[in-house]
Every structure is written in structure tokens, then in C-alpha cells.
Amino acid sequence: MSSWIFRMLFIIVIAGVLFVSLSSKAVWDPDPDSDTGTDTGRGLNFWVILCSGLIMGIGAFFIDVLTPKKKLGALAGVFFALLVGMVISWAISPLVDMVIDTHNINVKPEAVSAIKWMMAICICYLVIGIVMRTKDDVRFVVPYVEFSKQIKGARPMILDTSAIIDGRIADLYQGKLFDAPLVVPRFVLNELQLIADSADKLKRTRGRRGLDILNKMQSDTDIDIEIDDTPVPDAEDVKGVDQKLVVFTKHYNGRLATTDYNLSKVALVRSVDVVNINDLANALKVVALPGEDMQVKIIKPGEESDQGIGYLSDGTMIVVEGARDKIGRDVLISVTSSLQTSAGKMIFGKFEGFAQNGGRNNRRPPVRKPVRPSV
């Protein structure tokens, strides 16, 4: 949107300069050096100014429109580009005089001045357009002069497709656990759309859920989320969304938020900070200490003989020894050990008795049993 505002401003300025130049009294006055005294000189001035202005203005406009369009850059970059454009215009302006003198074109100094002004406007317009598109990547000839992306506050969190579909990242931000800006690269959004358009019903459901969650986060004023269209040259050269994510995150000095275990390992190898939503969720789960009593409902038999399987309300699996024949019953167990991995958490316990109340998956206050003296 801002690029089109800038383009309309350019059209207004170039049209204004062209109108003022063509309306100048000096352009329409007869040439005093003309032998015939006719208005041939003023007609030539008119057409030279008009054709030069239209050719340069239309040419500059279409060159900018046909190149990739990017959002408006930093104001300092625009000022720097304007300064560079003025210097280039000053250096090229003698070429206009040289062309006129070489071809012996009979135009007035006012027409030459109008041509130089329109040329300077077109050059400044093109230079500003180039800086707006490449300010995050280009390094100029002058040493140490570079427009790098400025990161305010905390480092941005780069979301991948799995983290968006998972949806827990929205709950974490709504709970004020994070305040860093969220960034969704354009290629991640494209992948999410492909999943939503998949012929497979399960994939299509997951993709639509991800789009709904993304729309929900964009509507939430407490979540700072942005769809980033900025091209990263290194990311464009690699294949696969996972590889592009790693390069994109490293380029922005951000942190990669994902639930993909393999992507997390690859990112760590590439020295990219990773926030694994599963690891974070497991770290926030209740801690089960050996000897603690818990209440759980047995849902299904376990893999080993005499084992029963139950689940806490947060999805933690509980393996209970001696509870295979107690499926559908609420039982009390004594925790013997727990195992935590990136894939989830498991609690192991043994059957102690049946629960007196009818509650499900309720966690009883920890009861520390006295240590039995060894015989």
C-alpha cells in the first residue's frame, strides 16, 4: 500500500513539473535568434519537454512496477537514497548538454533545465525504489554502510507450520508467557494453504485449523504477529520448507518455534535457537515424585502383562502395575518413577487401591510414605 502511495506521489510531482515547464512563458516566446521569426523554436521546445518527460516518467514508473514490490523501508534509507539520486543526477546532467550540443538541437535553456529536473526526479525515484526493496540485504560500496533489519525488544519468534497447527503458541501468548513478536514467513503460509487444499481429509482439516488459529492470533491485539514477505537470498536457494526456515531464522537472528523434533535437531546443529513447544509443555506439567499418591482412571491394558494405562487431564500417560483387570475403574496408585522426553511424559506407578470418590484424573495431595526399615 505504501509503495503505491509513493508511486502516486511520483506521478503527481512529475506531472506538475511537466505542466509548469510547458506553461512557462519562456518556452512559448519566439526564439529571438530565429531567422524566419516563426514559432518553430517554441514548438520544438514544447515537444522536446513533453516527449522527454513522458518517456522518462513512464519508463521509471514501469521499471519500478515490474520489479518485486516490497513495503516501505526505514526513513533513513529513503533519505540516503534521495541523496544518492541527487548526486547521480548532478553527475549525469552534463550529458544532456553534450547530447544537445552534439546533435545541434535548437532548444532554449528553460527546456534543457526542465529535462534535467525530470531526469533528476526519475533517478531519485528509481534509487529510492531500489533501497526500499534491498535495504535488508545490500551492502553499498562505501565500507560499513549497510541497511540491516532493526529488531526492537525481544528477538522475534519464527513460527513453522507445525507450531501454527498445534495452536498452543496462541495460548502461551495470551497467558503473557511470551512478549516477543511472532513472524510467519510467506513460504510457511503457502505451505499451510497447500495443506488446507490437500485431497487428504486429515491433512485438509489440519491445514484449515492452522489457518483459523493464525487468523485468531492476528485478531488478538495482545499478540504481535506479522506475515513477512521479505526475500532472503540464501533461503531462496535452498529446497524444502524446513531448510528455508532454518536459514530465515538465522538471517533474522530469531528463535524458531516448532513442535517438529527433527527440525529442532537440525536447527540446533545450524546454531539456531529453538523453542520446542512440546518441551515447554512438558516442563510445565506437574512433577510426579516417587512415593506420591495419585488417582487415575484406567482406560486400557498396557503392553506388559498386568499393566493398565491411564491418562491425566493434560495428556500424561500413566502406566500402572497390577491394574490390567481394573479397566474403567478409578484407582489410587503410588508413583514409582517418571520418564520425560521431547515426545511426552510417562509416569509409572503401582496399584494401591480403589478410589472412594467418583472423580476422574484427579491429583491427590502428595503423601510421603515413611521408609520401611529393611529387614
The 10s digit of each residue's pLDDT in 257-284 is 888 888 888 888 888 888 888 888 777 7
The pLDDT-based confidence of 26 (bands split at 50, 70, 90) is low
367 by Cβ neighbours in 10 Å (0-12 / 13-18 / 19+) ranks as exposed
pLDDT at residue 144 greater than cutoff 60: no
Query: Over the stretch 293-325, which tens digit does the pLDDT of each residue have?
Result: 888 889 988 888 888 999 887 678 889 998 888
Range 313-324 burial, b when 16+ CB lie within 10 A, else e: eeebbbbbbebb
Give the pLDDT confidence score for residue 47 in this predicted structure. 72
Q: Is 41 exposed, middle or buried (0-12, 13-18, 19+ CB in 10 A)?
A: buried
Q: Please check the confidence at residue 41 and state whether its pLDDT lies above 70.
A: no
Sign of CA dihedral 315, 321, 323, 324: positive
Q: Which contiguous run of DSSP H or E holds residue 281?
A: helix 277-283
The grid coordinates of residue 83 equal 541523496
Q: What is the pLDDT at residue 208? A: 92
- Mean pLDDT, to the nearest integer, of 186-202? 89
Choose between 197 and 20: higher pLDDT. 197
CB atoms within 10 A of CB 95: 11
Cα 373 → chain centroid: 62
Smallest CA-to-CA distance from 97 within 117, 114, 112 is with 112
Provide the 3-class DSSP secondary structure of residue 41.
helix
pLDDT of residue 149 exceeding 70: no
**What is the pLDDT, as a whole number, of residue 220?**
83
| Lowest model confidence (mean pLDDT) among 215-219, 289-293, 305-309 | 289-293
How does pLDDT run across 70-97, given as a tens digit for each residue? 444 455 666 777 788 888 888 888 887 7
Q: Which domains does the chain have, with CATH numbers?
A: 2-134 (no CATH), 157-282 (3.40.50.1010), 286-375 (2.40.50.140)
Q: pLDDT tens, 335-373?
A: 888 877 656 678 898 888 887 754 444 444 444 444 455
Task: Give the pLDDT mean for 231-258.
Answer: 81
d(CA 130, CA 263): 35
8 A C-beta contact, residue 308 and residue 326: yes
**pLDDT of res. 67:** 58
Q: What is the mean pLDDT of the chain?
A: 76
Task: Extract the C-alpha cell encoding 338.
Answer: 517418571
Which residue from 19, 25, 28, 26 is spatially nearest to 50, judged by alpha carbons? 19
